[in-house]
């Protein structure tokens, strides 16, 4: 049995031994991503439950579930993105916001919308997997795992995820809010809230190189 680590080496080996390339198998090396990224045990458990090793790209919403975060728009965007990027995933890290009892009802509506859009294996709410809010260490892990941040808020007083994304060198796609422009300036990608979800989806896909 002839085994090599890449198609490049396969061609070289077949030429060197003067054998049919079909007689050479390619088994590439891999990276143990949890060790390489130094993921916490809780992060590793969540990534396994969400099957994130098979997902790309991974979008992150490091937010609590409150109506002003406009998460329903995110789901609608993901519904279109999934047609372009079938293995895409979106992770919402926070639980319901604690200051408004209507947030529990809002979460239920989001879960139903997720079902209607067929996104049960695409959109993940961390609160469904953990009874406690994620620690800052776990949220930091998700910044390193994520390929981009998605923020669809209708109103914000600040935008801490933009600063965290800058430190983790993670691209940001966010709604066209003055405060986001104040923080992110021209270094992030904006979309208008009156834009159609499909147009936003195509913008994100094009920026991600698809």
141-197 confidence digits (pLDDT tens): 999 999 999 999 999 999 999 999 999 999 999 999 999 999 998 889 999 999 999
Helix (H) or strand (E) segment spanning residue 137 = helix 136-145
- Burial label for 42, CB within 10 Å (0-12, 13-18, 19+), is middle
| Residue matched to tokens 């800058």 | 166
Cα–Cα distance between 167 and 32 in angstroms, integer? Answer: 23
pTM for the predicted model, two decimal places = 0.85
At 35, the pLDDT band (50, 70, 90 cuts) reads confident
């Amino acid at each position: 049995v002839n085994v090599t680590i890449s198609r490049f080496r396969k061609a070289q080996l077949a030429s060197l031994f003067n054998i049919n390339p079909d007689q050479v198998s390619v088994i590439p090396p891999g990276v143990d991503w949890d060790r390489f990224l130094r993921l916490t045990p809780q992060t590793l458990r969540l990534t396994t439950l969400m099957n994130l090793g098979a997902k790309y790209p991974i979008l992150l919403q490091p937010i609590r579930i409150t109506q002003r975060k406009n998460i329903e728009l995110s789901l609608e965007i993901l519904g279109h993105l999934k047609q372009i990027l079938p293995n895409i995933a979106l992770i919402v890290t926070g639980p319901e916001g604690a200051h408004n009892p209507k947030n529990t009802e809002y979460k239920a509506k989001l879960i139903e919308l997720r079902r209607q859009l067929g996104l049960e294996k695409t959109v993940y709410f961390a609160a469904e997997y953990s009874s406690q809010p994620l620690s800052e260490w776990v949220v930091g892990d998700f910044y390193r795992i994520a390929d981009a941040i998605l923020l669809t808020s209708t109103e914000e007083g600040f935008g801490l995820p933009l600063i965290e994304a800058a430190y983790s060198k993670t691209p940001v796609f966010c709604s066209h809010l003055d405060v986001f422009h104040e923080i992110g300036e021209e270094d992030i990608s904006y979309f208008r809230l009156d834009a159609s979800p499909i147009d936003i989806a195509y913008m994100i896909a094009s920026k991600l190189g698809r």
